Structure 1
Amino acid sequence: MFPFLQRCCFHTSFKVQKLTGTRLLLYGRNKTTWCSLSFRLQTDVCLFSRSPSLSPASVYATKLQAFHTSPPSFKKKTPKESETKKPGVLERSVESLKESPKPALYLSLAGLIPFVSVPLAMAIQGTYYPEVAFAQVLYGAVTVSFLGGMRWGFALPENSPAKPDWLSLANSTVPPLLAWQALLFKDVTHSAVMLVLALGIALHYDVALLPPYPRWFKVLRVVGTVVMALSLLATAALKAVSEEQLSDSRDKWQNTKQ
């Protein structure tokens, strides 16, 4: 009897212990699973709460940052009109003349006085003087010869960019030949036109064919050539006007004589 009771009791307790152990194991597994699930949910929630795209505070901060960090183009100050406006050709020419050496500037301007004074004096007096007009043509021929000879002075130095070849030295003789041809004409108008042509050729040599010349010298040459050409043409125009007036007076005198 005792062995039977002992076996039933021990077997029952073993079953209960086994069942209890199984439940505890299952409970532990479930608890571990729930813990892991809760940990994952907490991590996702934290990440979700830390997302700047859905957080109101982060969205507001982002908007403020976008408001204060405007594009660089809006931050730059608009330059003034005086800074954006580039100087024109006339302004740059005046600046170049200011940079020229004083002796070159003053001597060049003084050399224009004989050209300007002749047509100005005849226009003020209202009379054409053939001798004075021929003196202007003679002075123009000397000036053209001087401008042509400058090529020799530019090409002969050893460090000069222009070589003393046939082209450079022969081109310098073209303006003096045209000036000599201008003196052969008996008409002042033809002489003046020939001198204007010679001045244009000399200017083309100095401005277009000789780029190493400084800018102030080129501007000075352009100004001088324009003034000389206009003065010669003004003298020719005064001669034409005086001849027309003389012919009109002759016609009137003949009409009154008849």
Structure 2
Amino acid sequence: MFPLIQRCYFCTPFKLQKLTGPQLLLYGKNKTTWSSLRLWLQKDICPLSRSPSLNPVSLHATRLQGFHTSLPFFKKKTSKESESKNSGVLRRSMQALKDSPKPALYLSLAGLIPFVSVPLLMAIQGTYHPELAFAQVTYGAATVSFLGGMRWGFALPEDSPAKPDWLNLANSTIPLLFAWQALLFKDITSGAVMLVMALGVALHYDLALLPTYPRWFKVLRVVGTLVMVFSLLATALLKTISEMEQSNSTNKWQNTK
């Protein structure tokens, strides 16, 4: 019933829609008979009802188009945009690194030499030296302890933005505990992994959790931490390779017997 009413209503000419009930009766009387009104309706209304542009389906589609709104389109970042963004971040980081005081920059880079030299020397010689690996772990424990104690020196002055509260002072001792635990391990691999965890905790404190340092120092801390972590992991990898070679040689020697 509703489609029929809707069809008749929307297919009726605009003039006829304006007519009220009495006016419609009067209009029929002026034509003398209802048959003339019926003929007029058949002549003017029916062709419109057969028009494909005003059928219920097209009318419903037209209404929907009026309320149609496209979903938000999230444009995917192209490779060029991501590369430009990464290059911009790298450029700003290098600029911040260049703005760092020269003594802090040179001493920090010099402090990375014992980390890098140990796995590099063993890789060049093609042999694993347990003494050099233990010396690297010991130096790493001392470095982690220094990074933890540095927070105390930053928080103690009266005009410092970091307060000497439990958050700053107690968290500074956690990397020290990790370093002490690394020295207790007899296995170099376990000690190296413990130092990697300690370096990650110290870096998290300096960048995110506790009051931040200057930008140049944060960049310097990230670079130094990455170099120390990869050096320790390289030493652990060289130790694993050396143990595998020794086990293979021992198995071959036993098989020859």
Two-structure CA RMSD over aligned residues (Å):
1.5
Aligned to 1:176: 176
Residues 91/211 of structure 1: CA separation in 2 closer, same or farther (3 Å cut): farther
Residue of structure 2 in register with 1:100 after alignment? 100
Unaligned runs of 5+ in 2: 1-83
- Residue matched to 2:143: 143
Q: In the alignment, which residue of structure 2 is the partner of 1:111?
A: 111
* 1:210 positional shift: 3.8
Q: Deviations over 1:226-256 (max 9, x none)?
A: 0000000000000000000000000000011
How does the TM-score come out when normalised to structure 2? 0.66
**Max radius of gyration: which structure?**
1
Note the alpha carbon deviations across 1:145-175, whole angstroms, 9 max, x for none.
Answer: 0000011011111011111111211000000
CA contact (8 A) 2:128 2:239 kept: yes
Does residue 203 of structure 2 align to residue 203 of structure 1?
yes
Where in structure 2 are the equivalents of 1:226-237 lying within 5 Å? 226-237=226-237
Report the 3-state secondary structure (helix = DSSP H, G, I; strand = E; otherwise coil) of the residue aligned with 2:194. helix
User: The residue matched to 2:209 in structure 1 has which SS?
Assistant: coil
Amino acid at match of 1:96: A
TM-score between the two structures when normalised by the length of structure 1: 0.65
Q: Distance in 2 between matches of 1:168 and 1:186?
A: 32
Tell me the equivalent position of 1:50. none
Shift of 1:212: 3.9
Unaligned runs of 5+ in 1: 1-83
CA distance in 2, matches of 1:86, 1:186: 42
Which residue matches 1:255? 255
Aligned AA for 2:181? Q
* Partner amino acid, structure 1, of 2:177: L
- The 3 A distance-change label for structure 1 pair 184 and 95 is same
Mapping of 1:185-204 within 5 angstroms? 185-204=185-204
Residue 27 of structure 2 corresponds to none
Q: Where does 1:1-258 land on structure 2 (aligned, <5 Å)? A: 88-257=88-257
Match of 1:13 in 2: none
Residue 77 of structure 2 corresponds to: none
SS in 2 for 1:88: helix
